[in-house]
Amino acid sequence: MTPGLLSGNRITLLQNGVEFFPALQTAIDAAQHEVHLETYIFTNDATGRTIAAALSRAALRGVKVYLMLDGFGSKALSSELLNGMRRDGVEILIFRPEPGLLHLRRNRLRRQHRKLSMIDARIAFVGGINIIDDMDTPGQIPPRYDYAVQVEGPVLVQIAPVMRRLWKLVTWTQGRRPQRMHSVSVQAASVGEQHATLLVRDNLRHRRDIEEAYLDAINAARSEIIIANAYFLPGMRFRRALIEAAERGVKVSLLLQGRVEYRLLHYASRALYGQFLMAGITICEYHKSFLHAKVAVIDQRWATVGSSNIDPFSLLLAREANIVLEDHAFAGQLHASLQAAIDTGSQCLIHDRWLHRPWYKRSLAWLAYGVVRFMMGMLGYGKLN
């Protein structure tokens, strides 16, 4: 069993923005005391304006509203929308504001990539969905393919201090006097039967918690592993764990990004496909739209949903948050959703054809992989392990 699991939770799977945003807006509109929201991207589109309006309405009726945005991911957010929320009483912090293109400090790559929301310490949302209209996918069939979960129950005891602590930390590091936060008691009564825990990644005690949870589950797998991840460039330990699972008879399937979004990571990831295919691992590239999911199901019992990609930038640099569950019903629901995406929205690779790609395509993949390794070494973050 995964360490730290708490029983008595009710975790609801939300697929794409069509399920996530109405649930989030409803929870904010019902808030009576406090709203916390952390996101990497917040855009001034129809979805962004809808959520901003909900936050403003909450603040205007006396709810304490705390909004944390990443300085890089949300750098294009208009000052008009930001100032409007501030005027209505929303407190806003920018995590590592962008200093400009000419400032090439290493810590610019340390981003707040979590997508966490908590309302009245009684309901929370964890996942990979940013505050952006996922139906706006130029040149693609919408929506972006992603997941979040709605969380109720004892696991809120883990979520609440994580969000409040980061708010105080960022306030302090920006030279501002931390104000006493309006914090209500966590409503952690048992409301269901699911076992769950929150895992975070930071730069101190929890640098590898998410990765280690994946590795423990993969090493314990007996029948099937499905991982859907938008940016997949695992280190040696992760690759070895997947290959060893396949060698002992576990069915391993990877649902990965087929559309080119970030070219360097896209081609670097493809350098690893050969060894996976040779080990009998199935690789399916999602082409229907942009894949943004960061989820996994193992043995239809263990599941995770969150913000962490399996690449060096997520695993070594970004603040991330994932929910891990051990529950057959939830895992079965996520498994069915992923299998449908594999069957209807992806193209699975054939080993022999992959090995006989043109030489320039193979060279491009290994060149991209070498560049990523070099970048990580130059940044002082060591090997991709």
Mean pLDDT of 115-125: 97
Q: Is 90 helix (H, G, I), strand (E, B) or coil?
A: coil
Cα 34 to Cα 25, 87, 118, 126, distances in angstroms: 14, 17, 8, 17
Among 122, 139, 173, identify where a domain stops.
173
CATH of the domain at 36: 3.30.870.10
Write down which residue in 173, 204, 238 finishes a domain.
173
Q: How far is CA 345 from CA 81, 143, 232, 256, 262, in A?
A: 36, 12, 18, 11, 20
With a cut of 90, say whether residue 237 has pLDDT above it. yes
One domain for residues 202 and 167: no
Same domain, 36 and 105: yes
Asked if residue 181 lies in contact with residue 168, where contact means CB atoms within 8 angstroms, the answer is: yes
In a domain, 269, yes or no: yes
From the list 64, 113, 195, 335, the catalytic residue is 113
- pLDDT score of 1: 63
Q: Which residue has the higher pLDDT, 314 or 37?
A: 37
Given the residues 36, 195, 266, 292, the one annotated as active site: 292
Judgement on whether residues 373 and 239 belong to the same structural domain of the protein:
yes
Judgement on whether residues 169 and 204 belong to the same structural domain of the protein: no
Does some domain include residue 73?
yes
Q: What is the pLDDT of residues 206-225, one digit of tens each?
A: 888 999 999 999 999 999 99
Q: Is 294 a catalytic residue?
A: yes
What is the spatial distance between Cα 48 and Cα 81, in angstroms, rounded to a whole number?
9
Can you tell me the mean pLDDT for 149-166? 96
Mean pLDDT of 82-108: 78
Which residues have CB under 8 Å from 364's CB, separation 6+?
Answer: 267
Lowest average pLDDT, out of 27-41, 175-189, 253-267, goes to 175-189
Q: Are residues 349 and 228 in the same domain?
A: yes
Position 305 pLDDT exceeds 80: yes
pLDDT of residue 385: 45
130 part of a folded domain: yes
pLDDT for the residue 168:
92
Q: Domain count for the chain, please give it.
A: 2
- The proportion of the chain whose per-residue pLDDT surpasses 90, expressed as a percent, equals 70
- Among 36, 115, 266, 335, the active-site one is 115
pLDDT band at residue 384, thresholds of 50, 70 and 90? very low
* pLDDT tier at 205, thresholds 50, 70, 90: confident
Together in a domain, 325 and 201: yes
CB burial readout 318-330, b (16+ within 10 A) else e:
bbbbbbbbbbeeb
Q: How confident is the model at residue 4 (pLDDT cuts 50, 70, 90)?
A: confident
Same domain, 162 and 235: no
Residues 49 and 125 in one domain: yes
* Same domain membership, residue 35 and residue 130: yes
Domain holding 264, by residue range, is 195-378
Higher confidence at residue 203 or residue 184?
184
3-state class (DSSP) for residue 338 = helix
Residue tagged active-site, from 120, 133, 134, 311: 120
Q: For residues 351 and 104, which has the higher predicted lDDT (pLDDT)?
A: 351
Res 383: pLDDT: 46
Instruction: Quickly state the pLDDT bin for 104 (edges 50, 70, 90).
Output: very low
Is the residue at 335 inside a domain?
yes
Q: Which of 36, 64, 294, 335 is catalytic?
A: 294
Given the residues 299, 311, 327, 335, select the one marked as catalytic. 299
Specify if 183 maps to a domain: no
Q: Among 173, 203, 229, where does a domain finish?
A: 173
Residues in the chain: 385
Q: Is 356 among the residues known to form the active site?
A: no
Of the pLDDT bands very low, low, confident and very high (cuts 50, 70, 90), residue 313 is confident
In a domain, 247, yes or no: yes
Do 246 and 361 belong together in one domain?
Answer: yes
Is position 294 within any domain?
A: yes
The first and second tokens of residue 219, run together, are 């090493």
Asked if the structure places residue 88 within a domain, the reply is: yes
> Is 229 in the same domain as 364?
yes
3-state secondary structure of 268: helix
The answer on 167 and 208 residing in a single domain is no
Task: Say whether 299 is catalytic.
Answer: yes
- Does 120 qualify as catalytic in the annotation? yes
β-sheet bridge partners, residue 224: 251
Which comes out higher in pLDDT, residue 101 or 77? Answer: 77
Predicted structure pTM score: 0.93
Q: Is the previous residue joined to 97 through a cis bond, with omega within 30 degrees of 0?
A: no
Backbone angles phi, psi at 157, to 5 degrees: -60, -30
